[in-house]
Chain A
Amino acid sequence: MNIVVAGFGSSTLERRSDRGIATFALDAALAALADAGIARDDVDGYVGAPFATNAGSPHAEGGDEISLKTVASLMGLRLTWGVDLFRRYPTDMVTSAAQALTAGTCRFVLGLRALYVAPGLDYATSQTGQVFGADQFTKPYGYTTAGARFAARAWAYMARHGATRDDLFAIVDLSRRNAALNPQAVWRDKPLTREAYFAGRMIAEPHGLFDCDLPVCGAQAFVMCRAEDLPGSAQAARVTGFSGFARPEALWTMSNRSPADLTTAQLYDGFSTMVWEWLDAFGITEPGGAPGFLRDGHAEMGGRLPLNTFGGALGEGRLHGMGHLREAYLQTTGRAGARQQKDGPALVQVGPFDDSSFVLLEPYAHRSGGPSASKASL
């Protein structure tokens, strides 16, 4: 496959904002077009994933969600192909774009994901008059609130493998230290001591306040195209593999790589303990070995497998995996600045243990001899 990510853009990330979600979305989209060196009129494909996942979300178009129809209208896009993926992840957006490009459906795909913290909503409550479908077996028990289901799973993992909250602090601490090197991270200037971590109020045991990512107003966007269409000024990361969680081996088959080849991994961390899942599941660590891997420093920058080098969602803010994808792009294009790790395959995993998807990005120049002119780091 000869598909590349050709550019990335981000809005500012803010905990609260007087500006609406569409403003953040267009800031990110225009930044991505500029980064890829293409014009608005070059865009003929679009992929989004607009769903707001907060329990109290009003799911209001242009309120806390923004879909293809609105973005295309506000930007004046003339698309031959575009989709919004329902409740899917940025990794699925890359997969869909790659398939549309491979099929020749379009030349330049804009991928966009925006999040928004709507004022006055209660994130915690399961309060609602009636519950339908799967909710009838979860919401009356508070199980859908604050990641209770991930907390329950983490409790069992910790009991089985002897992990402690110091192992959770190791994840949060790594995230905060990495975020300090990410200029747009919400927590960039906020190191967290062990004492402050343990002083944070409990949310859903074992998760305390700092084990939960921080909701933000913000958007990030990418441009993808076939390698032969890559604009001369653009910095490309090659998409060498993707797969869904039920067949994770397909990622390695497609890319002709193995977990041992990875030079960085950006693992979804909506809650701290989620980063253990795929370290174990991909065999990077023995079952139950992920906490020790982190505790022993192997996930540090310069370590055996640097994790969430941008600070993760725990350090940068909750962008539902777009931040993870962006960091993999920056790492594989040599633009990660002070966070830059060595060249090589970069794994992106987004989603929970029972519904993830994966993308592998690799440096473009290495396999193709493509352009590698320097460009400012981000």
Chain B
Amino acid sequence: MSQSTSHIPPRPLPVATAETRPFWDGAAEGALRLRRCTHCGRLAAPLAPRCAGCLGDRFTVDTLSGRATLKGRTVLHLNALPGRDGPLVIVECAIEEDPRIVLIALDDSGVTNGALPGQPLQLGFGPDEGGTRFAVVLPAEGPR
């Protein structure tokens, strides 16, 4: 018996603000983009109103490598995202350019099965879902 997919609710969709729009605009193009402080050079987490180091408020937008390491991981067995089959593999990715910045992603491909903390990962973005592409992890690329 096939299951109807017509009434699967979409994933919660982000309502971007000026601070987070560079991230989501980058995601739509499949690129990891974060703001970098023009004063001290530190990267800013997507939500940060100001640089966490010097509290500066001027940024450029950098496209990053997407390289990251595995900080934390859980397999969630509750039906948190209706319409998705099976458990969710949720991972915390510490980005290579500044591991203080941790982004959450799903592992839909099993690359973190049996992984240990610190394993290299590649952060990317999945298919368009309601106009947004969400973070996913992929196998790490090439020599590091």
**B12–A137 touching, CB < 8 Å:** no
**Does B111 sit within 8 A of A, measured CB to CB?**
no
Q: Mark A103-146, 1 if CB is under 8 A from B, else 0.
A: 00000000000000000000011111111111111111111011
B94 to chain A, nearest CB (A): 11
Stretch at the interface among A58-66, A79-87, A149-157, A238-246: A149-157
The answer for the CA separation of A133 and B46 in the assembled complex, in Å, is 10
B-chain residues with CB within 8 Å of residue A156 when the two chains form the complex: 71-73, 117
Using Cβ atoms and an 8 Å threshold, which residues of chain B touch A143?
A: 90, 104
Count of interface residues, chain A, beta-carbon cutoff 8 Å: 37
Tell whether B15 is near chain A: CB-to-CB under 8 Å: yes
Counting residue pairs across A and B whose Cβ atoms lie within 8 Å, the total is 115
- Residues B117 and A159 in contact, CB atoms below 8 Å apart: yes
Question: Assuming the A-B contacts A131-B12, A152-B73, are A137 and B79 also in contact, with contact meaning beta carbons closer than 8 angstroms in the complex?
Answer: no
Q: State whether B78 touches A204 (Cβ < 8 A).
A: yes
At the interface, yes or no: A281 with Cβ under 8 Å from chain B?
no
Which B residues are in CB contact (< 8 Å) with A163? none
B51 part of interface (Cβ distance < 8 Å): no
How would residues 102 to 119 of chain B score, 1 for a CB under 8 Å from any chain A CB and 0 otherwise? Answer: 011110000000001100
Instruction: List the B side residues contacting A204 at CB < 8 Å.
Output: 74-78, 90
- Point out which of B80, B103, B116 has the most chain A C-beta atoms below 10 A from its C-beta: B80
Q: How far is the CA of A136 from the CA of B105 in the complex (A)?
A: 12
| Min distance, Cβ A214 to any Cβ of chain B, angstroms | 16
Given contacts A129-B12, A130-B13, contact A155 B103 (CB under 8 A): no
Given A137-B14, A142-B88; 13 other pairs, CB 8 A cutoff: A124-B79, A126-B80, A130-B14, A141-B106, A143-B104, A146-B76, A148-B76, A155-B74, A203-B76, A203-B77, A204-B77, A204-B78, A206-B74
